[in-house]
């Protein structure tokens, strides 16, 4: 939980977990089956045209044209937003025309899942959540493929074998309290499940991004993960997951939306996004990088939840990019990138000058992902 004046820096978990007992929660028995169906549904969606095709009427289905907004603000000397956008448009056009058979579909599905895993790892790194790369990769691959990933506690029969397996994948965990490891594992699992959920709803089912979907994404993300901050009472996940906060929070000199106005602000955000996407559909053109940057930034400036806003913000960003540009953009894998990302978001919150610099940041990373996907689809990025 955050104080009225300042959002607390997250403590290292091994400093906090001495007597904490994270409650054991069982996932519904049908969850692996549902996740397998989600994987199949995403594959089916990709096979019908990628990025997702837009239905103009009952008979015509086509791809949107991407056109640049005029909001891009260059924040680094070596960046030219127009050149970046031109590259993105060129490579996206190649991708749209290339996904024509089962091999192409599998290539896009694998690249999407690989990028989701990287996005989860980077997002967790920004928030000092989760565990290392090898464990993140192992758990996320199982979840996204529909395999069962069971929860366990220190009293579970498989506790020792699971712990030894994690030690093998990340040696420095041997020096960490067991509760640190269990929480980090849980944060990865729930992040993957939340990511899969929002992609399924917004990209596969093509639903509007509603408050209900955002709340459920956040509830899944935080399931089984209490808020623990020194000097404050613990907050159970049932008390804040998918629930708009009722306490004021801030970061540095920035105060986020006061609780009373959060429902109205979130309603407005979802309505504005829906209207903008409907307008884009009617014009058959969109700037997916600008739209994704704009609404994910607005979300984090509202900061509607007590914790997990950053990770939810980046899932919203990637849900929009996935549907309209066919890519997932990992952010935060490297320390320098995390620093750059945090500085841009901080500046945007302090100056309130819009999402221009953030849109360039997103665009530059999107270009890299589009280039890699294009290479793989055209055979240039495939292993020999």
Give dist(CA 8, CA 247) in Å, integer: 13
Active-site choice (200, 218, 303, 355): 303
User: Is there a contact between 213 and 201 (Cβ–Cβ < 8 Å)?
Assistant: yes
Give dist(CA 21, CA 122) in Å, integer: 27
310 in a labelled binding site: yes
Q: Is 279 a catalytic residue?
A: no
308 in a labelled binding site: yes
Helix, strand, coil shares of the chain as percentages rounded to 5? 60, 5, 35
Give dist(CA 29, CA 45) in Å, integer: 26
312 in a labelled binding site: yes
311 in a labelled binding site: yes
Quote the crossing angle between the two packed helices 159-169 and 178-199, to the nearest 10°. Answer: 80
309 in a labelled binding site: yes
**Which tokens in the block code for residue 328?**
């997932």
With 0-12 / 13-18 / 19 or more C-beta atoms within 10 angstroms meaning exposed / middle / buried, residue 186 is buried
- Sign of the Cα pseudo-torsion (197, 203, 208, 209, in order): positive
Q: Which of 112, 110, 9 is nearest to 51 (CA)?
A: 112
307 in a labelled binding site: yes
Q: What are the residue numbers of the active site?
A: 303
The binding site comprises 307-314
The binding site for ATP comprises 307-314
């Amino acid at each position: 939980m955050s104080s009225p004046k300042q959002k607390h820096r997250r403590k290292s978990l091994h400093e906090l977990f001495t007597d904490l007992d994270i409650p054991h929660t069982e996932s519904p028995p049908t969850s692996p089956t549902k996740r397998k169906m989600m994987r199949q549904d995403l594959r089916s969606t990709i096979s019908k045209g990628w990025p997702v095709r837009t239905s103009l009427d009952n008979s015509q289905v086509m791809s949107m044209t991407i056109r640049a907004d005029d909001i891009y603000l260059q924040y680094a000397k070596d960046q030219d937003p127009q050149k970046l956008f031109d590259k993105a448009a060129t490579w996206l056009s190649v991708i749209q025309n290339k996904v024509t058979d089962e091999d192409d579909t599998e290539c896009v599905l694998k690249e999407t899942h690989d990028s989701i895993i990287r996005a989860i790892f980077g997002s967790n790194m920004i928030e000092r959540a989760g565990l290392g790369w090898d464990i993140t990769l192992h758990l996320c691959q199982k979840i996204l493929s529909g395999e069962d990933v069971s929860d366990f506690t220190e009293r579970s029969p498989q506790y020792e074998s699971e712990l030894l397996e994690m030690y093998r994948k990340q040696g420095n965990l041997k020096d960490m309290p067991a509760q640190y490891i269990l929480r980090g594992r849980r944060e990865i699992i729930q992040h993957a499940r939340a990511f899969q959920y929002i992609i399924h709803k917004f990209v596969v089912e093509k639903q509007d991004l509603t408050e209900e979907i955002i709340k459920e994404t956040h509830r899944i993300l935080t399931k089984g993960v209490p808020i623990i901050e020194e000097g404050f009472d613990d907050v159970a996940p049932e008390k804040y997951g998918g629930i708009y906060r009722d306490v004021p929070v801030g970061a540095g000199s920035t105060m986020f939306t006061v609780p009373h106005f959060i429902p109205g602000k979130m309603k407005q955000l979802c309505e504005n996004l829906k209207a903008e996407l409907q307008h884009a559909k009617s014009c058959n053109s969109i700037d997916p990088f600008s739209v994704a940057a704009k609404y994910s930034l607005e979300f984090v400036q509202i900061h509607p939840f007590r914790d997990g806003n950053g990770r939810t913000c980046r899932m919203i960003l990637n849900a929009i990019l996935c549907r309209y540009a066919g890519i997932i953009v990992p952010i935060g894998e490297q320390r320098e990138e995390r620093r750059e990302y945090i500085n841009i978001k901080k500046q945007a919150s302090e100056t309130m000058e819009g999402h221009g610099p953030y849109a360039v940041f997103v665009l530059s990373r999107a270009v890299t992902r589009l280039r890699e996907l294009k290479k793989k689809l055209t055979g240039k990025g495939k292993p020999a």
